[in-house]
Amino acid sequence: MLLALYVSSQFILMNDFERLEKQQVQKNVKGILNVLSNELLDLSSTTSDWAIWDDTYAFIQNGNEEYIQANLGDPAGFASLRVNVIVFINTQGDIVFGKTFNYGNNTVSDIPQSLSQLLAADNSLWHHIDANSVITGYISLEEPLLFASSPILTTQKEGPIEGALIMGRYLNSDEIEHVSQTLNLPINVSKSDDLKAEPDFSAAKSALSDGTSVFVQPLDGNTVGGYALIDDVYGNPFLILRVTMDREIYNQGIDSVNYFIWALLAIFLGFGGIGAVVLEKSVVSRVNRLAKEVRRVGKSKNLSDRLSWNKTDDLSILANAIDSMMEERLNAIGELSAMVGHDLRNPLTGISNAAYYLKMKYASETNPRTRQMLDIIDRDIEYANKIVNDLLDYSRKIHLEVTESNPKSLVDEALASVSIPTNIQVVNLTENKPLLKVDVDKMMRVFDNLIKNAFEAMPEGGKLTVKSKENKDKVEFTLTDTGAGVPKETLDKLFTPLFTTKAKGMGFGLSICKRIVEAHGGKISAESTVGEGTTFKILVPIEPPLERGDNS
Ligand SMILES: Nc1ncnc2c1ncn2[C@@H]1O[C@H](COP(=O)(O)OP(=O)(O)OP(=O)(O)O)[C@@H](O)[C@H]1O
Ligand SMILES: [Mg+2]
């Protein structure tokens, strides 16, 4: 885009500047041509002044010396006229008087032979028929000559015409210098049939011979030349005139265009940079962060992990949409769990009843194999029951049925409902104070879960210590085992649903514990050192807050 702008500005603006430059040069060339034609006019009026004069009229007839002495004796007098050549020629073509004045060394000499030959050969330069006739123009001698010829008449401009007065001014370096200074422009002149060495003159010559009145061409980066053709008195191409000028306009144009382009480039880069920074800050980096967080949540074992972007811009709306999608998924899992749990419960009860009947009926059965089978049925029903209960507990809304109890009886009962492995020592240091208002069944499930977890963490045996302590309006329970322990990085995942390291585990145990404890307005946490053991701490209020429950 910038390139296109550069190219078009080059084309449009530089063309304009070139045209302006050309116009300026043409104007100057025409100015010089004007000065030169004024020179001719000036020369011809001087010539007429002298030619139409009784003294000259007499002199052309009798050639008297006094006239010469009086008028042409002192060449300094001619200096003011800037006349180099003066020729008096009578009607027969005889040169009565002819001299050349050289101002450089203040000398007078005969007229050049080339001029006398030309006059002898061509009477049209001096043969006047009309009293008003004037012949002016350029003629070619050793140097180009500005030439004027006027008929010699009396002061009253009466005839008969007695001959012609010719005056000439050399277009030599002095004269050119004179014009140069008048216009303050460097001028060069070259004969058309004898061009100067500079090659630009020949290019100009061919252009001008096509009829162009003023030809303009750059000479280099800093100068431009303007050319015009000057015809001689016969109308033949004679001189090529050149004026050179500084390319001020053009160069200033280039500077302006470059300045413009650089300024534009700076603006573009400035705005582009700011734009990039803004884009990076407001979009790119945030999209990257979002992607990173989505990946993190995707990998997280914690199903309740969310992006939780609480702003109102587009990206946060997207983040919230992802959050609610996950919420819906989780709800769907919950619903499915509830359905499966509910549907399995009835057949499980049926199996359980049937097993009970069989057990009663064959209580006296001595076949140890049959007893073993019945025990397996019992054990597996219990396990299936746990899974069903876990699913239901996890998915159901928790509703507390509060009754009075105390820490010791809660833990005693929980311990009584599990079979303690023989290699594990259980130390129960719970107190029977204070009185607690809790949902006893649900709190039993909490202790049941924690105790079983502790046993499972000590397959080689160990010690489980349970304590309770009254703490203001709360009771703090601690269950400390001497089992394998939990690495630091998994410690905060323990309470997420479906997190398990066990082949036969569901990973619902601790998340259900958490729900139940929190439903009582309490807290559950874990501390652990790998290889030494784990302590679970439960803090429950003596009285639960009213209408406590959760609906997750
Ligand atoms: N006392 C403990 N010592 C060491 N690790 C434990 C302890 N309690 C729990 N864990 C770790 O926490 C995980 C989650 O326990 P959670 O009770 O939620 O599920 P689970 O016991 O694996 O399966 P289940 O649904 O049968 O209870 C366990 O798999 C275990 O890795
Ligand atoms: Mg468990």
Structure tokens at 281: 């800050």
Q: Which of 525, 423, 504, 438 is nearest to 474 (CA)?
A: 438
Centroid of ligand 1 to alpha carbon of 525 (angstroms) = 13
Q: Ligand 1, atom 29: nearest CA belongs to which residue?
A: 500
The answer to whether 69 and 53 are in contact (CB under 8 A) is: no
Q: How many CA within 13 A on the CB side of residue 52?
A: 18
Q: What is the mean pLDDT of the chain?
A: 86
| pLDDT band at 548; cut points 50, 70, 90 | very low
Nearest atom of ligand 1 to the alpha carbon of 500? 29
Question: Per-residue pLDDT for 283 more than 60?
Answer: yes
Residue nearest to ligand 1 atom 20, measured at CA: 507
Of the listed ranges 16-20, 57-61, 449-453, the least confidently predicted one is 16-20
Q: Once rounded to an integer, what is the mean pLDDT over residues 166-193?
A: 85
CB of 466 within 8 A of CB of 430? yes
Top mean-pLDDT range of 4-13, 186-195, 481-490: 481-490
CA 349 – ligand 1 centroid, Å: 27
Per-residue model confidence (pLDDT) at position 302: 64
Which ligand gives the minimal distance to the CA of 526? 1
Share of the chain above pLDDT 90, in %: 30
Residue 513 CA to ligand 1 centre (angstroms):
11
Show the tokens assigned to 395: 């998915």
Q: Which of 105-109, 183-187, 344-348, 458-462 has the highest mean pLDDT?
A: 458-462
Q: State the pLDDT confidence band at 307, using cuts at 50, 70 and 90.
A: confident
Distance CA 476, CA 470 (A): 6
Give the closest ligand to the alpha carbon of residue 498: 1
Which atom, in ligand 1's list, is nearest to the CA of 510? Answer: 18
pLDDT digits over 218-252, tens only?
Answer: 888 888 899 999 888 888 888 888 988 888 877 88
Phi/psi for 248 (5° steps) reads -60, -50
CA of 517 to the centre of ligand 1 (A): 17
Mutation test of ligand 1: which of 387, 452, 494 has the most ligand atoms closer than 8 Å to its C-beta? 494
pLDDT at residue 200 above 60? Answer: yes
Closest ligand 1 atom, CA of 497? 18
Assign 547 a pLDDT band (cuts: 50, 70, 90).
low
Atom of ligand 1 lying closest to residue 508 CA: 25
pLDDT value at position 388? 83
Which ligand approaches the C-alpha of residue 390 most closely? 1
Instruction: State the average pLDDT over residues 421-439.
Output: 93
Q: At residue 320, does pLDDT exceed 90?
A: no
Is residue 62 packed enough to be buried (19+ CB in 10 Å), middle (13-18) or exposed (0-12)?
exposed
Q: Write the residue with the smallest CA distance to atom 13 of ligand 1.
A: 500
Which residues have CB under 8 Å from 371's CB, separation 6+?
Answer: 365
pLDDT tens digits along 381-405? 888 888 888 777 777 778 889 999 9
CB-defined site of ligand 1, < 6 Å: 390, 449, 453-454, 457, 481, 483-484, 486, 494, 499-502, 505-511, 534
Tell me if residue 249 falls in helix, strand or coil.
helix
Highest mean pLDDT among 99-108, 122-131, 153-162, 454-463: 454-463
Look at residue 384 in the predicted model and tell me its pLDDT.
Answer: 86
Q: Which two tokens stand for residue 192?
A: 């058309």
Dist. CA 469 → ligand 1 center (Å): 25
Q: Which residue owns the Cα nearest ligand 1 atom 26?
A: 505
Q: What is the pLDDT of residue 303?
A: 67
Q: How far apart are CA 305 and CA 307, in angstroms?
A: 7
Sheet holding 135-140, edge to edge: 107-110, 95-102, 85-90, 163-170, 144-151, 135-140
Q: Which residue has its alpha carbon closest to ligand 1 atom 12?
A: 494
What own/partner pairs with CB < 8 Å and gap ≥ 24 does 419-427 have?
Answer: 420/455, 421/455, 421/461, 423/458, 423/460, 423/461, 423/462, 424/455, 424/458, 424/461, 424/462, 424/463, 424/464, 425/462, 425/463, 425/464, 426/463, 426/464, 426/465, 426/466, 427/463, 427/464, 427/465, 427/466
Calculate how far, in angstroms, residue 508's C-alpha sits from the geometric centre of ligand 1: 9
What was the pLDDT predicted at 9?
A: 73
- Give the residue whose CA is nearest to atom 17 of ligand 1: 509
Secondary structure (3-state) at 67: helix
Higher-confidence position of 198 and 263: 263
8 Å CB contact between 479 and 464: yes
**Which residues does 221 contact at the CB level (< 8 Å), separation at least 6?**
247, 251
pTM of the model: 0.50
Tens of pLDDT along 357-381? 888 887 776 678 887 888 888 888 8
- The residues with which 404 forms a beta bridge, in sequence order, are 437
Percent pLDDT > 70 in the chain is 96
197 band by pLDDT with thresholds 50, 70 and 90: low
- C-alpha of residue 505 to centroid of ligand 2, in Å: 7
**pLDDT for 504-544, tens place per residue?**
888 889 989 998 999 999 999 999 999 999 999 999 999 88
Output the CA 69–ligand 1 centroid distance in Å: 144
Q: How confident is the model at residue 260 (pLDDT cuts 50, 70, 90)?
A: confident
**Residue 304: per-residue pLDDT:** 64
